[in-house]
Amino acid sequence: MEIDKFKSGIAFAAALGIGAAAPVYAAGDTAAGLPFGLEFSAFGDVQSSYDDTGRQKLDFGSLELDVSAEFSDDLQGALALVTDQTSTAVAVAFLDYHTFGGRIAPRGRLWVEKGFHLHIGQFDVPFGSDWQFFASTDSISISRPLTTDLVMEGGYNDTGIRVLGNNGSINFNTFLLHGFNSGRLVGGRLGLTPFSDPFSLKGAQEPKTFEFGLSYLLDTDSSWKKNEVAWAVDAEASRDAWTGRFEYMVRRKELLIDPARTVTRAWHITQEYALDEEVFWPTTLFARYDQGTVQPAEILTPGASAGDDHDARIAAGFKTNPGGSENVHWKFEVQHYRAATPSTREMPGFGRRLFWYTQLVLSI
């Protein structure tokens, strides 16, 4: 995932994405001569940021390859391989058994139709709503909100078992995982979509009319003593060209693993508006306001010189398709911190107080 790169990247981010998604084939059919209806997609990125001396540098980021296949009518496999300058790792690798329903995307939005699925392996954990937009091909913005960056420390990916289902109006995820601290973690998310069709695959870009979600995680050690607790509420609404999202998240670490018993919380409101018929190129605008805090705070008394006891940030920008091409996406984003903790103020280039990013994504 690209999330952590934005914690240190200040001025300019450029990403090159390559994706090719074949139609869904029945088990035993072939795609481009490959068995089991194999599908491939990939994207990579390069970004420019400031180092500790304030000079701009070029960073080669990661390359991700996503693969999915159907071994039979009710058994699917999914894989995501990520490589960067220092290592190569498997980010997603799971088997999907479904009594009914279609293929599940390796990452991003899960649903394309009603279904009931059992997953075994490693996967991105559905918690809140922003987990659907980690990949640059799925998101209008470049950065992720503080609910993801601060509370979930860049996003949650784990190994275990999950059961998920959707009947069109109600969807659920329940899971048993290794957890944050190599013990056990149980949790889930319940989503209500009373006016919508089920989720779309990440390439379909079909918005939900309305969804309300409630998430909960309980992390324990091997003897089931509580280590951490987290919960979140989220909502998404769409009407014509407008989409609005809200997410509130809390995570508490217990005395067994943190003598300070840290509590981290954050929330954001994100607005998106598509200008497809109003400008020369299909363009979507976005604006986001988010706040995040860690208690106990780094400082006892808020103040401009010492730093604040919370982060408050405004981000705005757009995503457009140059030349009207569906295969080329260009993003631009500006950020401004209205309040910042001492740790945030240590980011390279923070003295400018106005950060901007740009990103180019290509798909084939």
pLDDT surpassing 50 at residue 191:
yes
Query: What is the per-residue pLDDT for 106?
Result: 76
* Total domains present in the chain: 1
Could you tell me the CATH number of the domain that includes residue 206?
2.40.160.10
* Burial (CB count within 10 angstroms: exposed 0-12, middle 13-18, buried 19+), residue 105: buried
Report percent pLDDT > 90 for the chain: 31
Confidence category of residue 200, pLDDT binned at 50, 70, 90? very low
| Average pLDDT along the chain | 79
- pLDDT band, very low/low/confident/very high, at 175 (cuts 50, 70, 90): very high
Give every CB contact of residue 263 below 8 A, 6+ residues apart in sequence.
250, 251, 252, 253, 294, 295
pLDDT category of residue 6 using cuts at 50, 70 and 90: very low
Structural domain containing residue 145: 5-362
Q: Are strands 39-50 and 184-192 parallel, antiparallel or unpaired?
A: unpaired
Q: Report pLDDT digits (tens) over 13-69.
A: 333 333 333 333 333 344 445 676 788 777 777 666 666 665 566 677 677 888 888
pLDDT tens, residue by residue, 237-254: 988 889 999 999 999 998
Residue holding tokens 């080329």? Answer: 328
Contact status, residue 128 vs residue 247, Cβ threshold 8 Å: yes
Rounded mean pLDDT of 152-160? 92
**Model pLDDT, residue 34:** 63
* Sequence-ordered list of residues with C-beta below 8 angstroms from that of 318, at least 6 positions apart, any chain: 140, 283, 284, 285, 286, 331, 332
335 vs 166: CA distance, rounded Å:
37
Q: What is the rounded distance in angstroms from the CA atom of residue 68 to the CA atom of residue 79? A: 6
